Structure formats: structure tokens, C-alpha cells
Structure 1
Amino acid sequence: MKNYALVTGSADRIGKAVALHLAAQGYNLLLHYNSSAEKAEKLKKEIEEMQNGVKAELLQFNFLFDNDFDEIFRSLKHKNIILDILVNCASDFVPSDFSLPGSQLLEKEFNINFKNAYLVTKAFARVYKSGNIINFIDTKVSKNQTVHLDYILSKKLLQEFTKISAVELAPNFRVNGIAPGLILPPEGKDENYLLNLAQNIPLKKIGNLGEITKAIQFILDSEFFTGQTLFIDGGEHLV
């Protein structure tokens, strides 16, 4: 049996797929959620019903509030929960542009998409001393034209933090990013929405969650790989 992996935002979408993949690989799971308690409980049950004996525990905290992540990790370690993998997957995706006054949305996107990944990463490094960190970014960090201004700013910062962390936390930690493209439609949209967008990218097709979990596994298996961002996007970041 392997040690634990923590996936933030694990109750749904990409976070859920990552958690299920890691459980299938034999990792015990710490499943973070904010408000999706019912989905998190369902995922916990699904993982614990696997035939490989993995365990799952729930962690609830709100990234918009102050959290003592050092204390959270010390408490886990005190319970002999050894954490090998941190996946910073929790995210908030809201359209915005220069016409929006004020900074309220920027602060929200900054807190959810960057600040707490930053804080969780630092606490993980202080308490556990070694491990593997994977940050979920976005293919659009390669662009400078956007209708998601505040979101993309926060993700650009996360990509830079990924590179800095890879240098500063080496050799005991490897830190990498995954930048998904057209994998899942945003809330309120369907697959046809993605298929239409796909006509503007080199491969002219959409991806799936299996492509994301293959990227996760590549990072975990590749011990000479750090400070990189894997663009799982059909070439979208190139155009």
C-alpha cells in the first residue's frame, strides 16, 4: 500500500478524475472539498469500494478564509498520515475583462487559484520535507488576450510559482504543472461548445479526462522531470 495523496477540489470534474486515478494506483486519498460535501462523500465511498484496499479521508476548508495549513499538515502527520503527493486542483473560473470595475473578483480568483496553492505548497514542504507537487494551470496562460482576465492572471502567477518552487524545493520535491485545454465544457455549456472551439486549434479535436490522468502518471513516473508544464491541449497554446 502506498502513502497518501492530497487533491484539492477533488469532489468534481478534473479533481475527481485525478483522485480516482491515484486511488487506482494504490494511493490513499485525502479529498479536499469546500461546499460539495455530498459529492465528496460519494467519491470517498467509491474509492473505499475499490478492490485494492485504499482508504480515503475528507478535508473541508474554504479557500476564501484564512486556514492554518501548517497545523492541518502537522495534525495529519501526528495521525501517521504520510503525504507523498499534493495536487493543487481547486479552481474558480469566472469571465472578466477591463470593463469590470474594482478588484473584488481579482481578489477572489487570486485567493482560490493562486494564493492557497502557494500556502498549501509551502506548508506541505515545511511539514513533510519531501514529495511530489502538481499544479493545475490552464493552456491560456500562454496567451495575452483573454475574456477571463482575473482568472488568467492568477493562473499565470501559479505557473511562475511552479518554476520557482521546482528550484527552491529541489532536490527533495519535484514540482510540475498541467495546463489543460478543451477537456470539459464550462458550467452551462455542452460538448458541442468545445467541438466548435476545437476548430481553432491544431489538432481540431477535444481531449478527455484520460489525457489528464496520463499526464499525472507521466509526472509521477518521471523522476528526472521538474519545473515543467505539460500542455494537454491539442496544440492550443501554440496558436
Structure 2
Amino acid sequence: MSAAPILITGGGRRLGRHCAERLVDDGHPVIVSYRRERPELEAMRSRGIVTLPADFSSEAGILDFIARLKGETKSLRAIVHNASDWAPDSFGDDAGADFERLFRVHMLAPYLINLQCRELLEACGEPQRDIVHMTDYVARKGSKRHAAYAASKAGLENLTLSFAAMFAPEIQVNAIAPALIMLNQGDDAHYAERAKAKSAMGMVPGPGVIYQSLRYLLDNRYVTGITLPVDGGRHLR
């Protein structure tokens, strides 16, 4: 356990929230960024989780978040880049703007936060400091309906290699690439069965597998520059 907090971007819901709450259970202070106010954020605050609003859709919003983060803490044990926008491709006049938004959320925000918050990680005082990029299974496979999303996640996966080399040996930089982990509200049984059939394991595992993967990276001093697939053997199909 470190006295320096762990930052999780996009930590107000789903996988980010699960990991934030599990880290608190394990005794770690946590800061999360969130895009919109949600009822569950109040419950997180009641547990001592610091919540900072953030708009990663513009460079100005990213830089504003970094400034407020530095006003909140003088050190970080780890940064988990979980903020994401699962947006389908658009084919109208807004297609370029939509691509640029995904680029900023998935690539520019991690890039600038890593560069400008390196000093916070170095000030941690712990023997291990980590950056973890949450990418996606489709970063390597591509996607018929989410090409911009897949491309920007692939860019984030490549940034993992660059920052791992740049920040070694003081800071470890790795990625986690999930496939289906949780169902969305409104997904019916037919969708669930089709989704499960895409992987060799044939299951919807739940967010605990992501926390296990994150915990492995946070606890292992000899791993950097890797992408850890958490896809149930989907590549075997």
C-alpha cells in the first residue's frame, strides 16, 4: 500500500468504478476523473475516493484537468488510463470531428497526462510506479462499425511501447486489452449468447478479471511494455 493515490481516468462507472472501489478495499487512496455527474459518484466520495470532473474531448480540457490534478496531489503511485468513448463510426459531415474526439480521448489525453504527470509518479517514493493503458481487443483486429475507435485504441497500444522505453526503469508502462467483460443495460439474452460465442471461454466474466489483471501489473516489478489480453481466448475463434 502506498500513501500516494492511484489515478483512474473515467473511473465513475463500470470497469473504472469497480477497480477504484477494489483499490480502496485494498487500502489504496484513489482519484478518479469523470465526464458527467452520476448518482454513484456520491457513494464513491463517501468512501474517500476523490472525484475530479474532466473533459478529454479538447486539448484545453485535458490541460485543465492536469492543472487541477496537480492542485489535488503532489504524487501518484499509478495512472490508469480508462477513460473511453465507445462511439460507432459516422458517415456524415461530422465524421472528421468524431474521429478527432476519439483521438483526443484515447490518445492525446494519455499522452499529455503521461508527460506532464511524470513528476507526480517520480515523487511517489515507492520502488514501483505504474502507468496502465486500457486498450481493447479490437485494436489488433479492427472493427467494421467502430473503425475510428479501434484505430485510436491501437494508437494507445503503441504509446505503451514508446512510454515504456521512455520512462524505464523508474516507471513501468503496460496495457490491458479487454474483449467482452460486462453486458450493457438493455442487452437481451439473445445478444448475450451471441457475444459469449465469440470467445473460446464462452462467458461474460464480469469486472473482477480486469481488477485481477490490473493488480498483477501493479504488483510485478519486472514487467513493462506489454499488452495483457483479457479476451477469453477470442483470438482462437
> Would you call these one fold, judging by a TM-score over 0.5?
yes
In the TM superposition, what whole-angstrom CA distance separates every residue of 1:127-156 from its partner, at most 9, and x where no partner exists? Answer: 432621111100111213431011111100
Distance 1:43 1:91 in 2: 20
Residues 74-111 of structure 1 deviation map (CA, whole Å, 9 limit, x = unaligned): 3234xxx43101111010001117x4554011011111
Q: CA RMSD in A?
A: 2.0
Contact 2:31/2:52 (8 A) holds in 1: yes
Q: Percent identity?
A: 26
Q: 2:135, 2:153 within 8 Å by CA — same for their partners in 1?
A: yes
Distance 1:191 1:83, change over 3 A: farther
**Compared with structure 1, are the counterparts of its residues 31 and 57 closer, same or farther at alpha carbon in structure 2 (3 Å cutoff)?**
same
The AA in structure 2 aligned to 1:106 is: F
Distance 1:196 1:57, change over 3 A: same
1:115 equivalent in alignment to 2:108: yes
Mapped contact 1:231–1:237 kept (Cα < 8 A): no
SS in 2 for 1:231: strand
Q: Give 1:71's match in structure 2, choosing from 62, 67, 70.
A: 67
How far, CA to CA, are the matches of 2:114 and 2:235 in structure 1?
26
Q: In the alignment, what sits opposite 1:220?
A: 218
Structure 1 contact 162–175 (Cα < 8 Å) conserved: yes
Partner of 1:15: 16
Q: 1:73 offset after TM fit, Å?
A: 4.2
- Segment of structure 1 superposing worse, 119-128 or 146-155: 119-128
Contact kept? 2:142, 2:151, Cα under 8 Å: no
* CA distance in 1: counterparts of 2:20 and 2:96, whole angstroms: 33
* Contact 1:207-1:233 within 8 A present in 2 as well: no
Per the TM alignment, residue 221 of structure 1 is displaced from its structure 2 partner at its CA by: 1.3
Q: 1:104: which partner in 2?
A: 97
Q: What secondary structure, in the 3-state scheme, does the structure 2 residue paired with 1:103 have? A: helix
Structure 1 pair 90/190, CA: closer, same or farther in 2 (3 Å)? farther
154, 158, 177: which one pairs with 2:152? 154
Q: Which runs of 5+ in 2 are unaligned?
A: none
Q: 1:231 to 1:167 in 2, by over 3 A?
A: same
Judged with a 3 Å threshold, the aligned counterparts in structure 2 of structure 1 residues 28 and 196 are, in CA distance, closer, same or farther, namely same
Farther off after superposition, 151-160 or 99-108? 99-108
CA contact (8 A) 1:137 1:159 kept: yes
Q: Distance in 2 between matches of 1:165 and 1:148?
A: 26
Give the SS at the match of 1:132: strand
Q: CA deviation at 1:197?
A: 1.9
Is 2:12 the partner of 1:2?
Answer: no
Task: Give the aligned partner of residue 211 of structure 1.
Answer: 209
Q: Which residue of 2 aligns with 1:52?
A: none
Instruction: Give unmatched runs, 5+ long, in structure 1.
Output: 49-54
Match of 2:135 in 1: 137
1:187 Cα deviation after fit? 5.6
Mapped to 2, the partners of 1:172 and 1:224 lie a distance apart of 11
CA distance in 2 between counterparts of 1:135 and 1:189 reads 27
Contact 1:10/1:40, CA 8 A, preserved across alignment: no
Question: Following TM superposition, by how much is the alpha carbon of 1:191 offset from its aligned partner in structure 2, in angstroms?
Answer: 5.8
CA contact (8 A) 1:182 1:233 kept: yes
- 1:124 is displaced (CA, Å) by 1.5
Within 2, Cα distance between the matches of 1:179 and 1:41?
Answer: 29
Report the equivalent of 1:62: 55
In the alignment, structure 1 residue 36 sits paired with structure 2 residue 27: no
- The Cα of 1:201 is off from its aligned counterpart by 2.1
Verify the 8 A CA contact 1:182 1:194 in the aligned structure 2.
no
TM-score (norm 1): 0.86
Residue 14 of structure 1 aligns to a residue whose secondary structure is: helix
Structure 1 residues 74 and 206: CA distance shift in structure 2, 3 A: closer
Aligned pair in 2 of structure 1 residues 191, 63: CA closer, same or farther (>3 Å)? farther
- 1 CA distance for matches of 2:27 and 2:210? 18
Report the Cα distance in structure 1 between the residues aligned to 2:189 and 2:205, rounded to whole angstroms.
Answer: 11
